[in-house]
Amino acid sequence: MPTSASDYQTFSSGGNISIRDILAPMSIKINTKHIELGDKVARTLSIVSYPRFLNNGWLSPIINLSREFDLCIFIHPIDSRDILRQFRKKVAQVESQIIDRERHGLVRDPQLDVAFKDIEELRNSIQQATEKIFNVGVYITIYADTVENLNRTEQDIRAVLEGRLIFVKPTLFQQEKGFQSTTPLGVDSLEIHTKLNTEPLSSFFPFISFDLSSDKGILYGINRHNASLILFDRFSLPNYNSVTFATSGAGKSYAMKLEIIRSLMFGTDVIVIDPENEFRKLAIATGGKTFDVSLSSESHINPFDLPTLTEDESLSDALRNNVINLVGLFRVLLGGLTAEEESIIDRAINETYALKDVTPDIETFEGLEPPLLSDFAVVLAGIEGGKNITSRLSRYVTGSWSGFMNQPTNIDINKQFIVFSIRDMEADLKPAGMYIITRYIWNHVRKTLKKRLLVVDEAWVMMQSEDTAQFLYGLVKRGRKYYLGVGTITQDVGDFLKSQYGKAILTNSSLVLLLRQSPTTIDLVKETFNLTENEKYLLLESDVGEGLFIAGLKRVAIKIISSYTENQIITTDPSQLVQKINNA
């Protein structure tokens, strides 16, 4: 019977069962070179010899082997007084051998000279307290399903270490002690030690591995190098922006949905511009709100809405920037403007605002009603040279597209998760629609400082126009000031990077997710991200949800994973959807 509360028990008709009974394997058989643990076999290896110099990161290839093993390092400090007494004897022995060779006229032995020099330097360092000596034991317990696989794993580890002149041996007739030494008990039962001083011992730490785990953040996936978790917080980086490149069907939207659902759990507000209506289901499941933006929808955004004022911005500056952005919008709507037309539109915008008493010399925008596009058209028609522009704008003012733009704003995005769906918007109008939506979102973001993530799916659409691309770049560049991270997703890498603003967005994005790439664009991706040949072929051969995760200067091979519940909420795989319908 257990004697303490820590030995928690459950009682059944068969008797008492302790927690040790539950955790222990069904059987253990101890052999000369391995242990049988139920269906597994295990073997403990110990490092018995090191070279004269150890480079930093020598353990990295072992840690990153895709094998199942436990590695344990025991470091036992030795009293400096004891080691100095041993050094005195050793120095005397080496010096005696050198003198004896000289007496007999023998050629000097380089090994003795080096040994004498090393011992003297180390003894001086210990006396000056700049170095200490330790007994170090390194044990590796490897696991496999069969003895043959166990032997292969041992050969792989031997090959890696012996290539660095580091030699390992199996702990013959001591496999039980070896297994105990690599359990979390922290007991060095083997006591197979090598004396090392501080400097070479420091090469054991830190474990230089392909690792992207932090103390806070969300789970992005599994590290394919070493099966560790990729836990990361984008808001801990110098900027909070990300770009995701992948071919169609590689899992880019799926990966972003996972990030969204996990970010929502930590209080992050999320806004999505959704060209294919892929995020609607997620918004419904998480209590969010979806706005369908199209020519016939009931959701409207007035492009002439008054800007939000921040503490460090004057009303006149805010109004001036708003006018500049509106000129950019009209360039997008009209397919470009001449310098003269830009001047006319700039004047007409200012006069349109003046009709509503919105001028640079007022003190506040509060209580003022913003004008509409129809108000702007009336003013523009009365300006010399404006009639031609007015006729070109007529389809947005009174024509089939007037329902989208020539209406007061009637949406409220004060929810944690908001989706703007533009799937039903005509292709020609999508760049302008995304421009208007992002302007509206930017005004909302500037009202209150809060952790937010803005996701722009199929961002290459905004790269088609210089004005929309420039505005998106402005969001990426200035978002950090307002605690905003911008996540851009695209499958058309060429179109995205062809724009100077696409390259600038990439430069200002600390996170990059590269999933499966097309052979036609892989060379461009390789050049852009300085990929190695192995990384290039990894992206070509990756399965759905696999690729490279890059955070700053660190990069790892990632496999994106989800729970069953998450997958049921976010999947758009037709085969899974059909199966769900059939099961229902």
Mean pLDDT of the chain: 85
**Count of domains for the chain:** 4
Instruction: Please determine, for residue 94, whether its predicted confidence score (pLDDT) is greater than 90.
Output: no
Show Cβ contacts of residue 573 under 8 Å, excluding neighbours closer than 6 positions.
none
What's the token pair of residue 84?
């100095």
Asked whether residue 442 falls in the same domain as residue 582, the answer is yes
Asked whether residue 465 falls in the same domain as residue 506, the answer is yes
Q: pLDDT (tens digit, 9 = 90+) per residue, 110-144? A: 777 777 777 777 777 777 777 888 999 999 999 99
Pairing of the two strands 484-490 and 242-245: parallel
Last residue of a domain, one of 188, 209, 230: 209
Average pLDDT (58-62) is: 81
Quote the pLDDT of residue 1: 35
The domain that holds 504 is classified in CATH as 3.40.50.300
Asked whether residue 63 falls in the same domain as residue 104, the answer is no
**Which among 26-30, 125-129, 210-214 has the top mean pLDDT?**
26-30
Asked, for residue 8, whether it belongs to a domain, the answer is no
Whole-number Å distance between alpha carbons of 378 and 380: 6
Show Cβ contacts of residue 196 under 8 Å, excluding neighbours closer than 6 positions.
50, 133, 134, 136
Asked whether residue 576 falls in the same domain as residue 433, the answer is yes
pTM over 0.75: no
Quote the pLDDT of residue 4: 42
Q: Which domain holds residue 316?
A: 302-408
Asked, for residue 441, whether it belongs to a domain, the answer is yes
Burial of 477 (C-beta count, 10 Å sphere; 0-12/13-18/19+)? middle
Query: 308: pLDDT confidence band, cut at 50, 70 and 90?
Result: confident
Asked whether residue 468 falls in the same domain as residue 520, the answer is yes
Whole-number Å distance between alpha carbons of 197 and 174: 27
Q: pLDDT (tens digit, 9 = 90+) per residue, 473-498? A: 999 999 999 999 999 999 878 878 88
Place of tokens 């933006």: 293
Asked whether residue 472 falls in the same domain as residue 378, the answer is no
Asked, for residue 510, whether it belongs to a domain, the answer is yes
Produce one character per residue of 68-88: b if its CB has 16 or more CB atoms within 10 Å, e if not: ebbbbbbeeebeeeebeeebe
Last residue of a domain, one of 63, 98, 131: 131
Asked, for residue 31, whether it belongs to a domain, the answer is yes
Asked whether residue 228 falls in the same domain as residue 195, the answer is no
Q: Give the DSSP letter string of 368-412.
A: PPPP-HHHHHHHHHTSTT-HHHHHHHHHHHTSTTHHHHSS-----
Produce one character per residue of 123-136: b if its CB has 16 or more CB atoms within 10 Å, e if not: bebbeeeebbbbbb
Quote the pLDDT of residue 9: 41
Asked, for residue 234, whether it belongs to a domain, the answer is yes
User: Integer distance in angstroms from the first to the last C-alpha of the chain?
Assistant: 51
Say what percent of the chain tops pLDDT 70: 93
Average pLDDT (166-180) is: 94
Whole-number Å distance between alpha carbons of 232 and 443: 29
Asked whether residue 245 falls in the same domain as residue 369, the answer is no
Tell me how far CA of residue 287 lies from CA of 98, 253, 264, 281, 440, in angstroms. 83, 19, 11, 10, 22
Asked, for residue 310, whether it belongs to a domain, the answer is yes
Asked whether residue 190 falls in the same domain as residue 171, the answer is yes
Asked whether residue 367 falls in the same domain as residue 428, the answer is no
The domain that holds 322 is classified in CATH as 1.10.8.730
Asked whether residue 148 falls in the same domain as residue 264, the answer is no
Q: pLDDT (tens digit, 9 = 90+) per residue, 327-362? A: 999 998 888 889 999 999 999 999 999 999 999 888
Asked whether residue 237 falls in the same domain as residue 247, the answer is yes
Query: 367: pLDDT confidence band, cut at 50, 70 and 90?
Result: confident
Asked, for residue 296, whether it belongs to a domain, the answer is no
Pairing of the two strands 417-421 and 269-274: parallel
Q: pLDDT (tens digit, 9 = 90+) per residue, 321-332? A: 999 999 999 998
Instruction: Please determine, for residue 154, whether its predicted confidence score (pLDDT) is greater than 90.
Output: yes
Q: What DSSP element (H or E) covers 526?
A: helix 522-529
Last residue of a domain, one of 364, 391, 408: 408
Asked, for residue 189, whether it belongs to a domain, the answer is yes
Instruction: Please determine, for residue 13, whether its predicted confidence score (pLDDT) is greater than 50.
Output: no
